[in-house]
Amino acid sequence: MTDLNVSDEKHYIRFLKWAIDGYRKLNLHSVMPTVKTVYLEIDKNTNSAPLPTDYIDYLKIGLCINGYVMNFDLNKDICLAGEEKCPCDSSVIEADIQGISSRLNTSELTDMGLGLNANVAWTYMDSRVNNGVYTAGVYGAGSGYYGGGYRIDIGSGRIVFDSYIDVDKILLEYRSSGIADDGTAFVQDGAIEALSSWVHYQRCKFSTNQVDRQMVNEHKQSFQNAAMSMVLRDNALTQSEWLYLMRKNIHQGVKR
């Protein structure tokens, strides 16, 4: 408020809203990524788990075993819950499904590489893999077949799992908007300059004062420069990270 030359609190809420919008913008575009880890309970009825309200995108989905994350596979073929708009009798639909299922499990389709059954890991054949010789289903069959498939349902705000997920809780590491459920947020010291410039930019952008209007591009450029400085600082490698990059491809050879 001081550097805006505003001594009263009449415009405090408006300035606060602009600061929150700028904070979300920095998180949304990964300029100031806020990474969180949560454990989500799986609803056994729907085999799904709710996404956090501050969710932007996921980084890891899996289980924490002995201190390490075992990542599940993305499987975009998992069916999502939809609205029923079919007037057909449910018994007719069930009969059609059974008929399709029986045809998909025939040996003829299996020999063509189309009858992949995730329950049998050794009956998958693809003419493009291993010269058409039968190959293990877990190898080269794509994601989601080893028993840890998931799919993100943005529309309903849930993570949908395949039937092989038989656990009570899963680990989700995700990029957050930075705003917690109770409205609190952690602001890095390096983000204060960018947020201040953003508030100045918004104030001039919506001002009716001609002097303020002339400062719009200057404050916009100031915000962009501050945001770029944050990216450069965050991407700068530490000494340990440089050593890791140099050493990660070095392997001990066989002693002779």
d(CA 147, CA 165): 7
Q: Could you give the C-alpha distances from 229 to 26, 31, 194, 217, in angstroms and in order?
A: 12, 9, 9, 18
Beta bridge partners of 74: 150
Read off the tokens for 47. Answer: 């085999």
Q: Are 203 and 15 in contact (CB under 8 A)?
A: yes
What's the whole-model pTM score?
A: 0.61
| Residue extents of the structural domains in the chain | 1-31+188-250
Of 58, 57, 24, 61, nearest in space to 180 by CA = 24
Residue 195 parent element (H or E)? helix 192-205
pLDDT 10s digit of each residue in the chain, 256 long? 566 666 666 778 888 888 888 888 888 787 887 889 999 999 988 889 999 988 999 999 988 888 888 888 888 888 887 666 665 555 555 555 555 445 444 444 444 443 444 444 434 444 455 555 544 444 444 444 455 689 999 989 999 998 767 788 999 999 888 877 777 778 888 888 888 899 989 988 888 888 888 889 998 999 999 889 888 888 888 889 888 888 887 777 777 6
